[in-house]
Structure 1
């Protein structure tokens, strides 16, 4: 086969592979299942017709896709820089525009009833990875009718910490201790991977009973004295039924899967611009629907095009010398 035709064939094959890779869904990895997270709760209610006023408002603010993508609240290059990357008022969405409805300051988010003492946390995982969980509780006096800020969390005393728990039955299960509180509070979970700079975030509303937090008018029109619905996690059937509308992957896989590994931003230094631009989008977490597979696809496409270009140049140069 002539060199030019062979190069063209190889480039076409590489390009097709790149397009297939870029069309693949992004991997997402989970959310707190008990106490159920806001996004999981709203997904369980039904993205198209949520039952609670808070979830209805979340859909009005951010659309239904955020709920179908319930396991994808993440930052690709977090590397422990959570407070640097996520501004106050955007903690529940991790600063993502897609999930902005979860940041609504309301006192009527469906809540899980809890009490002080030992608590078994269950994190619903769809792609297990090595890493460490930290779960933080809001401080006494927390007002759910105000935007959640980092200063609202007791960051010095996490209520649970777990490194490399073993997943079983679709959950990471680990123990913690809840302090004495009253009324509505919020648990903020951070799962920082150790095999990648990627991190995942979730907000879980809880009610300790014995009083209410806040009590002022919220942005959603409800008050702190209005009883909130009881939270409930989505069933396996609901998760399976909505997977087809998700832009993220719902199939579990191991840590050795390269399609779910985010590279450090420093790797961009000597990377070709075409591949670097695609990789940067995935690594910065700019879009929760960005696939790491697309990075490989873009790189492969750039490599194939370069190979074809060089082959044509060499062919032309050789022909010139023969003349």
Structure 2
């Protein structure tokens, strides 16, 4: 084989060898955020705390019967990848707690006996359990006076004009976003609906928290609710429970490798990356909005460098042939 062809072929192999690396970097996804309301505890977190394989409350048993145990192991993945603020457009009445995701349909069951957190009107400190922090805005809505928990939750049941809490880019600490809000006067069983819309992606997360008014006064209401025997007291999963169940989850807990650069896939497809455990400092996991651009820039640099190398060795080979003649 002539020297020029041999060198050119070798350079071509080098370029081809770099190409998969460049494509991999270009396909790298931004860190994907995940979480669910921790206080007042969300339905999915409550049922996970009871134990996916043998939940204790009748409501959680019914949820597992309807949707299976995997939904509970995937407690931090009730999401829509391409929401972009179109929550009412994408989620039908009666499917708010599952965000229209069939895996979580058991959470939409209309029951008056969901385990509930006792609360009172006034200031409340919300704690959102996060497994990959990201920029975005939280809005927490409450059901209107007269809400009937025995009926499917609809958008019209929520007071959308007056969220009880709104916060943008809170700091994550100890695995939680903590922010303040104000609960209005209500009585009996109500639902708090949390929407976390990321600002660095169209992805959004959703959760339903059952509360009963008449419990602890102000702050975080986690005590029992007097006179309400129909709704067991809610309790959030412990760190040990979360860690123990991570291997059973199909949700990426650290937000690395969603493999969906736009986080725009359908929820059932986008909720399937492998779990990676939850033992590292949660406040330090996950990238920011620059992550995909850094990856793309690195890939472009690799490709450009390979192309430059190819042209350089090719010129030297051509010149060498000419001098040899």
Normalised by the length of structure 1, the TM-score is: 0.71
2:173 alignment partner, SS class: coil
Residue in 2 that maps onto 1:75: 80
Say whether residues 1:60 and 2:65 are aligned partners: yes
Q: Quick check: 1:74–1:285 contact (8 Å CA) kept in 2?
A: yes
1:155 aligns with 2:160: yes
Give the secondary-structure state (helix, strand or coil) at the position aligned to 2:46.
Answer: helix
1:231 aligns with 2:213: no
Q: Secondary structure at the match of 1:180?
A: coil
Task: Write the distance in 1 (CA, Å) between the matches of 2:153 and 2:72.
Answer: 20
Distance 1:63 1:144, change over 3 A: same
Alignment of 1:52-131 (within 5 A): 52-131=57-136
Task: Give, in whole Å, the separation in 2 of the partners of 1:291 and 1:6.
Answer: 36
Structure 1 moving runs of 4+ over 4 Å: 1-19, 257-262
Q: Contact between 1:198 and 1:262, CA under 8 Å: does it hold in 2?
A: no
Match of 1:187 among 192, 198, 206: 192
Instruction: With the length of structure 2 as denominator, give the TM-score of the two structures.
Output: 0.71
For residues 1-323 of structure 1, what are the structure 2 equivalents within 5 Å? 27-209=32-214, 227-251=230-254, 263=262, 282=265, 284-291=266-273
Instruction: Give me the CA root mean square deviation.
Output: 3.5
Q: SS state of the match for residue 66, structure 2?
A: helix
Displacement of 1:12 in angstroms is: 8.0
Deviation at 1:90, TM superposition (A): 0.3
Question: For the Cα contact (< 8 Å) 1:76–1:262, is it kept in 2?
Answer: no
Hey, what's the Cα distance between the residues in 2 that align with 1:233 and 1:32?
9
Distance 1:31 1:262, change over 3 A: farther
Gapped regions of structure 2 (runs ≥ 5) = 1-5, 216-227, 275-294, 300-325
> 1:134/1:44 Cα in 2 relative to 1: closer, same or farther (>3 Å)?
same
Give the secondary structure class of the aligned counterpart of 1:172: strand
Larger-Rg structure: 2
